Structure 1
């Protein structure tokens, strides 16, 4: 009886590990879409709004979901608290703190960091061009992420289950 319970625990642990790894492939395209949506909202704020960046970031954090909202909320807090720091530094700190909570990888982080370097440094038209460029780059990364999801998500789930079965066979 104890052997059977141990086998079930091993199987469940290996299956959970496989599903956990597969989840990051499932979440990555969704997080990239949320980031693109947040950038669209920021584009609207830059193009048509007259709010300061702090208020724009707060509004964006209320309108998007999950970790992306937390990044913009943290950025707004940084802009309030870090008196004299550049906009890029406030964004960079928020991104560095919150990025491990996302399923996104380094290419998306680089696009977002490069975009944040242009905020508040140039005129409205130039910033709108940088938003469009960041969205185009994120669109490419989202397509790559979807391809990886199709390729690897099911594989990791299956490998988790099969590893559990394999370990059980080895132990018996």
Structure 2
């Protein structure tokens, strides 16, 4: 009976360590997807001269959750309601944000991007997208450094915590 309990404790603590480590990797994956989505948005706007709602709909079909949901929600809000692109972007971000692995720093960057969305001519809009991509690139580098630094440590800490608890209980 003690052996089964010890194995359950070890499995649970190891699983917690793996999940925390996975969240670091998931954040990086979502940041990369967001950068790709913004690059696609730039291409649709600049070279396809596609309206914002239509470009967002196309982008939502190219990506997976949560980026897909963000752009789909944004497109729907632009079509269904008489609100500005800024308001639609902010509402869409707030709806999907709890479903992402991204942090508040990324939210601030994307909210700042939303401030200028749909307000400028094509060249200015392109510059705003490039600026946002630069910020996201910096955040991605920081997230990668954190993942490399803490990813293995958190996994090991999960296993070692389980072993420590087992030793104390036995």
Q: 1:66 aligns to what SS in structure 2?
A: coil
CA deviation string 1:8-54 (max 9, x = no partner): 11111111111111111111111111000000000001101232211
CA deviation string 1:107-132 (max 9, x = no partner): 11111111111111111111000000
Q: 1:121 aligns to what SS in structure 2?
A: coil
Aligned residues: 170
TM-score, length-scaled by structure 1? 0.95
Q: Where does residue 105 of structure 2 map in the other structure?
A: 107
Provide runs of 4+ in structure 1 moved above 3 Å.
none
Match among 155, 163, 166 for residue 164 of structure 2: 166
Match among 95, 98, 101 for residue 97 of structure 1: 95
Q: Which stretches in structure 2 are left out of the alignment for 5+ residues?
A: none
Alignment partner of 1:23 is 2:22: yes
Q: Where does residue 51 of structure 1 map in the other structure?
A: 50
Q: CA RMSD in A?
A: 1.0
Q: Where does residue 116 of structure 2 map in the other structure?
A: 118
| Separation of aligned partners in 1, 2:83 and 2:164 | 55
Q: Where does residue 9 of structure 1 map in the other structure?
A: 8
Q: Which stretches in structure 1 are left out of the alignment for 5+ residues?
A: none
TM-score, length-scaled by structure 2? 0.96
